[in-house]
Structure 1
């Protein structure tokens, strides 16, 4: 039926599904997080593996720039940047879907309990391990190179991928999957749980009303990143050391042997190498990530500012 003369009919704009919003907002926020913390990621990997590296992140970064040039702080960026959109999109979409299933509320209107948040986070961590394991392996091997780009001995990102597949096969790219799973499943529960709890404490009522205070989001996101890393950090050091070399060239038979051998030869502190760089990076990355995620979720769902 035609509208009466002089009456404008406003058609409702198509709305994205909650799963689509989670996916798109996760993709955008993931890229923001990677870009915010790239230099410190290279520094922390060097500290975790190279026993001659400095324990102080600034000294380590300056030494790398002096010896290898400023570009070394962006080394290995191509892999996470190429995959972070998919990885983070999958994490947030899985978290959202798990949360809606746990709440038994298809529209997900009410806030989850903190135990439900923790469980949904662990589900997301389980799923993302399939993506992050080969990405981390390739990134670490790129970051451990000391040759500068364009000089003899430097291996580019595509060539590194080809070398791993040729020498170790496709399964070689998944070296360290077990310890990656041990790291990511609980840490993602902590990650989402801490964020939801602290945001509510900083902005009471935000979980129910959906308020979006920039300061609360920034601080809660940064703290969530720091505490999630602290909860599992030794496993990240073990993973980095295991993935640094192929199975044929490695002195370790597996991740348990790697952890035990590191402790026996270097002491308990060896499993906390690079912690300062990791925590500084975690705060910066995840503050940017959660802030961007919340902003994109609001924009994509058509909520008012």
Structure 2
């Protein structure tokens, strides 16, 4: 029964990930989708401190469109499209497994977990997810920041082939330690916020999880997404800077996450840790609202 339950949760999580991608495509207005927001975010995060290429979100978007066309916003898209279903599947599967573990194996008992316990369950799901999200985001970030005039890699497969041959497969895990930290804290907050609000709703109305209205799930999912990024954005900036730093240790700008944080603060101040923040927030609400709602609907359909 436990294995079958886990299989259902993994499947529902995969559906949530697929819907997340589809919602991103449905949000298109001209060249405006979730992926362009992410490309703008990463370029703002990683631009040179000494001679910044962009003054803000609008300037980055307009220059990217003018110099590289609409396709410039979609660099590195294939990798997350392939991996997003697997990542979200792992997130929800690990979350539910940890909730059962913390409640002593009692499925109903998981509805009464404390906020701290929900954070731990979410953090565990984040660590499990980092196994895939780390290398996937590294590949995507590298492809997003390269310009048409300085194109080193034609796509994900070319990136993996060239980097692994020159620097070894371990180079694909560049920035993995900071990614694990981001996922631990980020998903701890992310799932704690959503699950706590779901628990309060069920308790206040004396209803089952399957009876919580979809509109509330959408609101809770959006709020969870906003909260996630508010708390982890500086960590994400450090991660992006590390993942786009050179592979050659002799010419690297940063020796590690702490060094990157210190140099960013010294050169740019606190604002340097929030470059591209609003581009990120524009996509956080719709994407995460859709993910949670799709997961809950799928679990209700196949049976909890």
Q: TM-score, normalising length from structure 1?
A: 0.86
Task: Provide the C-alpha distance between the structure 1 equivalents of 2:96 and 2:260, rounded to a whole number of angstroms.
Answer: 35
Contact 1:120/1:189 (8 A) holds in 2: yes
Task: Provide the C-alpha distance between the structure 2 equivalents of 1:246 and 1:206, rounded to a whole number of angstroms.
Answer: 56
Deviation at 1:273, TM superposition (A): 0.7
Matches within 5 A, 1:140-155: 140-147=141-148, 155=154
Deviation at 1:181, TM superposition (A): 1.4
Matching of residue 268 in structure 1 with residue 250 in structure 2? no
Deviation at 1:162, TM superposition (A): 1.0
Task: Provide the C-alpha distance between the structure 1 equivalents of 2:268 and 2:75, rounded to a whole number of angstroms.
Answer: 27
Task: Provide the C-alpha distance between the structure 2 equivalents of 1:174 and 1:53, rounded to a whole number of angstroms.
Answer: 27
Matching of residue 218 in structure 1 with residue 205 in structure 2? no
Matching of residue 290 in structure 1 with residue 292 in structure 2? yes
Task: Provide the C-alpha distance between the structure 1 equivalents of 2:3 and 2:19, rounded to a whole number of angstroms.
Answer: 22
Matches within 5 A, 1:1-305: 17-35=4-22, 36=24, 37-51=34-48, 52-54=52-54, 56-108=56-108, 111-113=111-113, 114-147=115-148, 155-200=154-199, 204-205=204-205, 208-248=208-248, 249-301=251-303
Contact 1:199/1:206 (8 A) holds in 2: no
Contact 1:218/1:290 (8 A) holds in 2: yes
Larger radius of gyration: 1
Moved more, 120-129 or 34-43: 34-43
Task: Provide the C-alpha distance between the structure 2 equivalents of 1:290 and 1:16, rounded to a whole number of angstroms.
Answer: 22
- Bigger proportion of residues as helix: 2
Contact 2:198/2:209 (8 A) holds in 1: no
Moved more, 219-228 or 65-74: 65-74
Contact 2:190/2:228 (8 A) holds in 1: yes
Task: Provide the C-alpha distance between the structure 2 equivalents of 1:223 and 1:201, rounded to a whole number of angstroms.
Answer: 15
Contact 1:221/1:290 (8 A) holds in 2: yes
Task: Provide the C-alpha distance between the structure 1 equivalents of 2:255 and 2:128, rounded to a whole number of angstroms.
Answer: 25
Task: Provide the C-alpha distance between the structure 2 equivalents of 1:269 and 1:115, rounded to a whole number of angstroms.
Answer: 30
The CA deviation string for residues 84-121 of structure 1, in whole angstroms up to 9 with x for no partner, is 12211111101111111111134446514233221110
Unpaired runs of at least 5, structure 1: 1-13
Task: Provide the C-alpha distance between the structure 1 equivalents of 2:79 and 2:91, rounded to a whole number of angstroms.
Answer: 17
Alignment length (residue pairs): 287
Deviation at 1:83, TM superposition (A): 1.3
Partner in structure 2 of residue 4 of structure 1: none
The CA deviation string for residues 156-209 of structure 1, in whole angstroms up to 9 with x for no partner, is 221111122122211111111111111110111110111123345667447744
